[in-house]
Structure 1
Amino acid sequence: MPRNSRIKGLRDHTPEERLDLVAEAAGLDDDALSALRPGEGLSLDQADHMIENVVGVLAVPVGVAMNFIIDAEDRLIPMATEEPSVVAAASNAARIARGHGGFHTSHSGDIMIAQIQVLDAVDPEATRMRLLEARDELLALANDQDPVLVRFGGGARDIAVRVLQTSAGRQVILHLHVDVRDAMGANAVNTMAEALAPRVAEIAGSRTLLRILTNKAELRLTRARAVFDAELLGGAQVVDDIVAASAFAEADPYRAATHNKGIMNGITAVVLATGNDTRAVESGCHSHAAQDGRYTALSHFEKDAD
């Protein structure tokens, strides 16, 4: 964790020197970031074991966004992106927010959802009720699949059941809520869903088809807020214009698509730089932007009393 995320004159150094300065500021060992050095990252042989028909590897620039204070702690933010200005814009926004305490976050928890699709139920509403009655049994069966996750404080927490009208008829959809802790959770929830499917089919008196996680992670939300100084932004008119532009994005899906693309410039860059699943996060973000049936902005701006 850096002592201070404002590294004076970082841009005036060579890339090699910047890497050393960032490692020092973050209190890391000299070799902790060695994978970022050309020739020391992903090898062709390693890539050949990751996906099929490998012909090479593609490099993406990795930069470090500075000036961030997040929940009262200084942070240096790794960002992998090919687009100019993203790292600089993030660093500048963090600098402006810094004087008012930086960014403050809240987290709803680490619940991921697995879906089990029930087809051909003769009595869908009654099937829903029978599945809800079997809640404790199903949760116990799910937790039997991953005792390590349970030992670390995670595991299946609840179920929900919906009756869904589709073009292929009415379907019963069971949601299994699983606390996956720090993991992305796909393997854990998919394994549980696979194990539950035969018993769910038996209770339903029908058959199951899909049993897989959803990337609509509505029970795993992170929220952030910050105050940006009006004078540092450029004055009262700039503030009013930002609020007006934000309102445009909230009201209009055409503007919201581009507005959210700008937000994802930062989010995807961090997800990629930390070796996580960019597609899953992007899918979750955009589905959340349309959660009320209309695509809208992922952010909201307003003026405070000052």
Structure 2
Amino acid sequence: AHPRREAADEPSAPDRGAPSRTASQGDDGTGASPAEEAPDSAVALADQPAPAHQPLSAEEFDRSADELRELLDQSVATAERRLFDLRTAAADDARILGALGEGGLLPPGPDVLATVEYLGEHGIPALPGWRYLAQAVDPADHAAVLAARPELVDGVVITDPDAHTRAREVLGSAALLPRSAVAVGTAAALLAPVPDPATGSDAQHDGVFLVPPNPAMHDEHAADEERHALRSRAAARDEDIRTLAARLSGDRALAARIGSWRADCPPGMLAELAEAAATARTAAESAEATLAEARTARAEA
């Protein structure tokens, strides 16, 4: 078979996702914006079932092949950017979910744990500030305590106020050499009255502020809610990624087939093949008529 004649028959292949003569809509069923209409229309080529649309004829496909290829290229570029954004967001959420842990409260830093352990070995009762906040402070007051005493929340709370002086002496000679600043104070210091916001405080005027802490350090309920929201969002995003990746693969394959078809059948070739086929058909019919006349003449002879 002639390679270009085979190529001329190729337009039937894209019929599995061939575009219809109706206007396309966005993925959510609403009309797409002018800037997105063309890429979204091209995405629909590989995504919409053929029975719901009237496929293009070979002649229509030949006229529109270059435009279809351009639309598909735009769709692929748009989908690749969207896929990158989705995967980046998924990585960010995975990092946050990892920071929240699997459940319960997260442990404090190693320097704080070492300090609490050392005090316990010397008979001085103490807790990590985060743990004391979670166990002894009303959740409604967490934000105020964090804002007023962030260094002590992230440090060590001595639960026996009478042991404060001894704790200072013990730690002063311990040579723990922490790699972070570990504040140590009593529960009374942690829960001291917070300055009235109306009168202002030193922290409010010296530009110091607190980065929102991980809720899993002090509030199990808030941490569980955050984990649930992140996991639900991750599940929905994973489904979007799978759907978009499959559609992107289909668009790439269809664009490659259109490009291959166009390489074998450049503009005008289909009309030339049709004209050649018509000429051959006429010649065949003429030959058949001549053959029939010859047979008739031979039979009469």
Q: TM-score, normalization: structure 2?
A: 0.21
Whichever structure has more strand as a proportion of its residues is 1
> Which has the higher Rg, Structure 1 or Structure 2?
2
Whichever structure has more helix as a proportion of its residues is 2
Q: TM-score, normalization: structure 1?
A: 0.20
